[in-house]
């Protein structure tokens, strides 16, 4: 059986060149990269090893698929940063009045930021849609391989809220009920949607129009 040809044509002069060639040997023009398929398992390395895992995943895949390699690096940087911010916020709040409630609120806000980040990674990593789910009040659903289901710091009985978005996969809405009402008259909420995250004084009611 004849060996399969592994050539391509120069984008400038049309000469037949090796498919892995970065520069055309005929005219010297740099060639556009043809991205290779890269496994999503590299995200696991970035999530569990943080910055180190992100750098390793990026270094291994940067020449095979630069765009996805950057995603690995971003995950390795963002996930640890979110936890560090949450921990630092908790330490600071412990010295203030209502320390425990405020510390839990900081964790809730960090969790919602993780939801927003994981949803964006899921969307831009090829799905071109957000994870959809029916309404839940015992924790947000898992987001692909990027984030396990989250539970409120006080347990599933208090719960996070995920509003149904099965009819609008270009939008999503999850929110946490905070203990400290802040400037709100009664209750304060922290929501995550395709627009980012935001504090609210009224609980969202529509998974297709969070805020």
Query: pLDDT tens digits for 30-47?
Result: 777 666 677 878 888 777
What is the number of domains present in the chain?
2
Q: Which two tokens stand for residue 152?
A: 């409120």
Q: Is pLDDT at 1 greater than 70 in this prediction?
A: no
Domain of 147 in residue numbering reads as: 130-211
Q: Tokens 């984008």 label which residue?
A: 11
Q: Does residue 80 sit within a domain?
A: no
Name the nearest CA neighbour of 173 among 119, 210, 135, 145.
210
Name the nearest CA neighbour of 100 among 154, 151, 175.
154
Q: Does residue 11 sit within a domain?
A: yes
pTM over 0.75: no
Per-residue pLDDT, 102: 84
Q: Tokens 């209750």 label which residue?
A: 187
Element (H, E) at 200: strand 196-200
Average of pLDDT values for 105-126?
92
Q: Does residue 199 sit within a domain?
A: yes
Q: Which two tokens stand for residue 43?
A: 């995200």
Kindly list the strands in the beta sheet with 196-200, ordered across the sheet, starting from the edge strand earlier in the chain.
161-162, 173-178, 188-193, 196-200
Percent helix, strand, coil in the chain (nearest 5)?
35, 15, 45
Q: Does residue 119 sit within a domain?
A: no
More confidently predicted of 109 and 46: 109
Q: Does residue 104 sit within a domain?
A: no
Per-residue pLDDT, 18: 80
Q: Does residue 44 sit within a domain?
A: no
Per-residue pLDDT, 112: 95
Per-residue pLDDT, 93: 61
Mean pLDDT of the chain: 84
């Amino acid at each position: 059986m004849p060996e399969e040809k592994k050539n391509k044509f120069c984008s400038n002069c049309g000469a037949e060149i090796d498919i892995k060639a970065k520069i055309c040997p005929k005219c010297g023009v740099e060639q556009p990269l043809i991205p290779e398929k890269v496994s999503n398992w590299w995200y696991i390395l970035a999530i569990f090893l943080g910055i180190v895992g992100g750098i390793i995943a990026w270094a291994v895949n940067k020449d095979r698929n630069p765009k996805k390699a950057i995603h690995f690096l971003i995950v390795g940087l963002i996930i640890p940063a979110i936890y560090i911010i949450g921990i630092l916020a908790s330490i600071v709040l412990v010295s203030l009045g209502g320390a425990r409630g405020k510390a839990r609120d900081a964790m809730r806000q960090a969790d919602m930021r993780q939801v927003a980040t994981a949803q964006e990674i899921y969307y831009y990593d090829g799905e071109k849609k957000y994870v959809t789910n029916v309404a839940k009040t015992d924790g947000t659903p898992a987001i692909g391989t990027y984030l396990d289901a989250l539970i409120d710091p006080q347990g599933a009985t208090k719960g996070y809220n995920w509003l149904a978005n099965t009819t609008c996969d270009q939008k999503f809405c999850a929110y946490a009920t905070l203990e400290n009402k802040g400037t709100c008259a009664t209750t304060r909420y922290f929501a995550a949607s395709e627009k980012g995250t935001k504090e609210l004084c009224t609980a969202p009611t529509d998974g297709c129009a969070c805020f």
